[in-house]
Structure 1
Amino acid sequence: MGDIIFVVVGELQLIVIAGRSTRRCWQRYIYRLETRGVNNFNRFGMESFVETIKVLDGQFCNLEAHERRARRTVEAIWGKSLAWEVGKMIIPVEMCSGLVKCRVVYDWVVREVSFQPYAMRQIKSLRLVDGDKVDYRYKSTDRSMFIRLMEQRGECDDVLIVRDGWVTDTSFTNVVFEDVVGGLYTPDTYLLEGTRRQSLLDVGKIQACPIRVEDIGHFQRVLLVNAMIGLEDEISVPVVNIMK
């Protein structure tokens, strides 16, 4: 039998038996328990992650990209292969018309799949906030860091997060800046590698480049994009409405 590790984090108690082949995986897991807290741990004691997938008129959009990201996440965190039979996902009949959000929650297996109609938020202003301590390279269900940042937005609709002077993302989207001649640029200092952002890069519709806070004035507006929101949806904020 392997080593016995007893971990207590908040109200969560775990006893882990780790052999040599799995010790490194559990050490990474325990480190994340101790440093991230238990806000995003499910009833199985596992850290939870999520994929938000657009469903339009009964069809999944960009599903393969979501599957790839989820599998990369599980491999990075657990050193395992994600148990997700994508081909067996069924959209409920009542969700087969209009715009719908599919939410897939997983650890190293899929724990929950849900569907709900989606209404786009209208964002007209952004507040620049300091997010130097934000680490969201994996799409976790724990959004407490964004909730804290949103408390700083004042009268603005959302926040534009800055790390070490570099522009990153809003609380729920990647961003694309448009210049006066229509050029589209996304910061290469993003927090989350969004599936929509990556697909736009892949087809050459946008370019990635470093964008500092002082560069914002060189553009005319910023467009918000995520799995549910595309460039064509025109959810945008004039740069004059980005507040310090």
Structure 2
Amino acid sequence: MGTTIFVAAGGSRLTVIVGRSTRRYWPRYICRLETGIVSNFKRIVMESFIETIKVLNGQFCNLDAHERRAKATAKAFFGKSLAWEVGGMVVPTEMCSGVVKCRVVYDSEVREVCFQPYVMRRIGSLRLVNGDGVDYRYKSTNRSVLARLLEQRGACDDVLIVRDGWITDTSFTNVVFEDAGGGLYTPDTCLLEGTRRQSLLDVGRIQARPIRVEDIGHFQRVLLVNAMIGLEDAIRVPVVNIMK
């Protein structure tokens, strides 16, 4: 397993941890134990959120969009502005080559920053699953609702979540449908307004429109995009590989 570099913010210190573990929560516990501040343990029950940022050859990508979303989320949940200093961080030397995933965990403050080499998933098929009632408008670290839906994928590689008959997202990406003429359309009913999706909308490379399950056959393929995956390197799945 490749090296992961954790930068855990706690108390008045910033702790850099280099290791091979990718367990989700141990860096945060290390941070709390090192600070010695008992009150920090109350954060365990505080809802936390995540921003996943692409780092290309040592440079943060689309950082302003991530900052805006994180600050809006902190304001909505905690009623205060988030002190966001990620852009001022120096990317660790070991992580300055190629594509790296920067994972920022925060609640009312930034609690953890982690850098890890990025490995693209291989997705060749999707299964339609019922996500009625699912609400993931904020990028929470609690992905249990998405994990339960993913368990329904069967022999497919991932799921395409349907809410009240409308196409939304996969378990880890927004989606863009491509028609025979090269038109690119993203559902306007997405679960999460991803930063990559929004940047593509802003520059007019894709258009938002309602897409129902019965509309899928009008397209050639579906492209999976997120902060780490742009249109040029999107995961492409033929619509014939979308299973009911």
TM-score of the two chains, using structure 1 as the length reference: 0.82
Q: Measure, in 1, the Cα distance between the counterparts of 2:86 and 2:157.
A: 35
The aligned counterpart of 2:47 is 47
| Alpha-carbon separation, structure 2, partners of 1:223 and 1:66 | 22
Percent sequence identity is: 81
**Once superposed, which parts of structure 1, at least 4 consecutive aligned residues long, lie more than 6 Å away?**
none
Q: Does 1:189 align with 2:208?
A: no
Alignment match, 1:208: 208
Give the match for residue 159 of structure 1.
159
Read off the aligned partner of 1:54 and give its amino acid letter.
Answer: K
* TM-superposition CA deviations, 1:135-163 (whole Å, max 9, x none): 10000000111111111100000000000
Say yes or no: does 1:99 pair with 2:87: no
Task: State the match for 1:144 in structure 2.
Answer: 144
The answer on whether the counterparts of 2:53 and 2:228 sit within 8 Å (CA) in structure 1 is yes
Q: Distance in 1 between matches of 2:94 and 2:147?
A: 32
- Structure 2 CA distance, aligned partners of 1:188 and 1:87? 30
**Structure 1 unmatched runs, 5+:** 1-40
Question: Residues 189 and 51 of structure 1: is their aligned pair in 2 closer, same or farther, counting only changes over 3 Å?
Answer: same
SS of 1:197's equivalent?
helix
Give the match for residue 83 of structure 2: 83
User: How many residues are treated as equivalent by the alignment?
Assistant: 204
**Aligned counterpart, 1:231:** 231
Superposed displacement of residue 44, structure 1: 4.3
1:60-112 deviation per Cα after TM superposition (whole angstroms, max 9, x unaligned) = 00000000000010111111111222342221000000110000000010000
Residue deviations 1:1-34 (CA, integer Å, cap 9, x gap): xxxxxxxxxxxxxxxxxxxxxxxxxxxxxxxxxx
SS at match of 2:139: coil
**Partner in structure 2 of residue 29 of structure 1:** none
RMSD between aligned residues = 1.2
Q: Is the 8 A contact 1:184 1:205 kept in 2?
A: yes
Q: What SS does the corresponding residue of 1:73 show, helix, strand or coil?
A: helix
Please give the secondary structure, in 1, of the residue aligned with 2:192. coil
Structure 1 154/64 Cα, relative in aligned 2: closer, same or farther at 3 Å?
A: same
Given that 1:53 and 1:101 are in contact with CA atoms closer than 8 Å, whether structure 2 keeps it comes out as: yes
Q: Is the 8 A contact 1:42 1:48 kept in 2?
A: no
Where in structure 2 are there 5+ consecutive unaligned residues? 1-40
Deviation of residue 201 (structure 1)?
0.3
| SS of match in other structure, 2:222 | strand
Amino acid at match of 1:109: E
The answer (yes or no) to whether the contact 1:56–1:99 under 8 Å persists in 2 is: yes
- Counterpart AA for 2:240: V
Tell me which residue corresponds to 1:110.
Answer: 110
Q: Distance in 2 between matches of 1:52 and 1:243?
A: 29
